[in-house]
Each structure stands twice: as C-alpha cells, then as structure tokens.
Chain A
Amino acid sequence: MAKAGEVPTFVKETKKDILDVLRNTKEALDRRNSQELIETSNHLVHSVSIHNDPRAVYVSIIAYALGKIVEKSEALGGYRKELEEFLEGNEQNIGAAIKFLEKDELKSFDNAIKNILALISEFDNSFSKYVQDVLEFAKIQKGAKVYEHGLSVASVAKLVGISQWEMMEKIGETKAYDHGVLKTKSTRERYEQTKKALKKRD
C-alpha cells in the first residue's frame, strides 16, 4: 500500500498486462475497430480481479469506452472531423502513456491516463445522445465482467468505483447466476429452511 503522496507501484504481471492492452488499444484505435477495442478491454479482467489494481481498471475502462465511441460513430454512418481529431488525439495520448510506463515514469503515466479519461468524458458529453456518460457505462460493464470471476458485489463496486445499486442492476441482466455450482441446496431444501428459520420463536 502506497503512503500519501507516494506513487503506487505495480506488480510485474500487471505492468505487462497493461502494456499489452495499451498497445492493442492503440493499434485497434488506428484501425477504428470497435469490436477489437471492446475485446481488448476484457484482457485486463483477470489482472483486475487478482491484483485489484486501479490502473488496470482505468485502462480497461478506456479501451472499452473508446470501443463504444467508435461503435457509435459507425452506427451514425461515418466519422466527423471533431471525432477524427478526438481519436487521433487519443492515439497520441495512449502512445505517450505506453512510453511513460515502459520507462516506469509512473507519475507521468498516471497523469496521461487521467488526461485520456477527462478527454473521453468531455467528448462523449457533446457527442452522445445518451444521458449516461460512456465512462460510467464502461465501469458498469467492466464491473460485471469482474463479478463473473467470483468477487462479491461490494468488492467489485469498490474496485471499479460505482455504487452497489448500479452493480446489482447490471448483474441481473447477466447469466452470472446460471452456473450449476452455485446451486448448493435444492429448491425444496431452501424452501423448508426458510420456513423453519423464519418461524416465530416462542
């Protein structure tokens, strides 16, 4: 755990995972490939679940949010000038973040990531017709992926920085609970257990 004012370090595996994802994100962004961006964002789910690293969370959110922005542009039938500028700017910012991380300049890396997140939020605000910020949407999507890996709702909500309300609503839409191993009692047993437990004490 880093002390106040100290830049937290990385575990070796997380650094490698983040670098891989950033490089893939830059390439996918260059190809304007929304599916590849969204797919790339999933590659950090294991890292996030195991190492609880906030940088991995942010990078995953960035890749996903950019994927959704490119996807929306495709749906609108093309790229406007300001969108092109935004995407090119992000390619450069991601390139800079990669260099900072390669050189272990973590403070500069963190600032670059913060800058990318701010740019995405600002751009999405003017570009999207949806009320929900693309970054908030990305957090919820990534949270649901991490939840599939066994962490509790409260753990995931804290890790990705959203409320349990949002997390519960999202999880309900997934098939996270249709995994056979989660059924620990038959429905009859559970029914009888509930009746027995809630029966009035004398």
Chain B
Amino acid sequence: MTLVIVDSGTIISCAMNCILWVFDELKQQGIRFIVPAGVKNEVIDSGLKSEKFKYEAIRVLHHFVNGTFESYDEDLSKETSELLSYANSSFYINNKQLKVLEDTDAQVAVLAKKLNADALLTDERTLRLFIENPDAISGFLQNKFHTKVEVNEKSLHRFSDYMENMPVIRSVDLVVYAIENGVFDPTIKRCSIVKNIDCRKEIIRGLLYALRFSGCAVSFEEINDYVNLVLRDKNAKKKR
C-alpha cells in the first residue's frame, strides 16, 4: 500500500468541488490516506459551525466513517512543537519572529515523517515551500513586506532537513494522477455522448481551475502546462 498524509486544505478544496469520491477510488487502487486527528477535528468542527459549509463537513465526515480517510489519533505534540519552532523562528522583521505556520501545518509534516509516508498531500503554499525550497520564502517575504527580512538559516533548513525531500503533492497533482489512472473515464465517456467537445481536455481543465478557485496553491500558468502535458502524454501513448 502507498501511504499518503493528508492536510486540511486538500480535503477542503476537494470537498468544495464534490470530488471526495476520488479518494475512495484511489483507495481501491491501493493508496491509504491518513489524517492527523488535529487536522480532522479542525476541518470537521469548523465546517459544522458554519451554515455555509456544514454539509461539506458532513460529507468529509462520511469519508472517515467509510474508512477512506483514517484518523491518526496518537499524540504528536512534542515533535510538532519542535518542528513548528524551527519554522516560526526562521524569519524576523524588526527583531520580531514571523509566525508563518500553525500547529496543524506542522502536524501533517511530523506524521508524514513518523509513518515514513510516500507523500504529503497539501494545498498549503507556505508549508510546501518550507519542504521544497525554503530559501525562496525569504525573497517572497521581502517582496511583500518591503523591508529587510532577517533569516535564521539554521532554523529554516532544519525544517527541510527534517523532511528529507518528502514528496509534496497538491490536490491538482492528485487529480491529474486520478485522471491518468482511469478514475474519471466514466465521466469522460458520459460527457462524450452528449457533447461534441474534447471532453478529456475540458474535464482536466475544469477540474484544475475549480481546485485553484477553491484555494489550491497552483498558478494559472501551471494549470495550462498540466493540461498540455496530460494531453500530450495521452496522444503519445495512443501512437505507441
């Protein structure tokens, strides 16, 4: 089985687009989705408190009940607090620490390491940068605050060193993988019956845009690249 740790943002963006069923399908294909208890509570409790998102939260809950999402309930507070302290002591403005990550952000990272996961599934921009390219964060902050951002290089790199190149996947990457693995084939087939359009292309584009508009950290440029890439690969496979 492939083991993937799931963050709140990914669950939210998929729930908002009614595609939580994709997780069910991928579980059938051998992927286990583990969610830290803190993240589970945050997503469900905050959703249930809101009239607007209550039903989405209930649908998320359903995916815990049916076993697609597995809650990890063991205490992670010690490791979480340590990892969080690296992140939140990495940047200083006017001698003041910049608190960029929250407890639940660090929880998913800690759990991914603890369970030796195959990937961390998150739509969170800052967490992904900490793992993939921490040096890019300072330039970004400097640009936004228009002031000198002091960097504690040791803290900054302790975070990424701890994560040891853990693959980070966003909801858009997961959905592209699902498309490539036939999860959307019935949808594409049904679309083709009634519409004289390139259904595969429009479904890919529609899904990626929908996830972006639900907060997944992906640029419009990347979406266009992805659509072209998937279609090119599909055509290459056909030719073979």
Contact = CB atoms under 8 A, between A and B. Distances in A.
Query: A and B, one complex?
Result: yes
Interface of A: 11, 13, 46, 49-52, 148-155, 157-158, 163-173, 176-179, 181-188, 190-191, 193-201
B124 interface: yes
A170 B9 CA distance: 13
A192 to B, nearest CB: 10
A81 B136 CA distance: 53
A155 B215 contact: no
Given A150-B140, A154-B8, A155-B99, A173 B213 contact: yes
Q: Is the interface of B mostly helix, strand, loop or mixed?
A: helix
Contacts of A50: 93-94, 96, 98, 145
Q: Give the dominant DSSP class at A's interface.
A: helix
A49 B98 CA distance: 7
12 contacts: A150-B141, A150-B144, A151-B126, A152-B124, A152-B127, A163-B50, A165-B46, A184-B129, A195-B177, A197-B118, A198-B31, A201-B2
Query: Which 9 A-B pairs give the minimum distances between C-beta atoms?
Result: A168-B215, A154-B102, A163-B46, A187-B225, A197-B119, A172-B213, A197-B167, A165-B53, A184-B133
Interface string B41-78: 01100110110110011000000000000000000000
Contact of B215 (A172, A179, A199): A172
A178 B221 contact: yes
A164 B43 contact: yes
Interface in B18-58: 26, 29-31, 42-43, 46-47, 49-50, 52-53, 56-57
B203 interface: no
B144 A191 contact: no
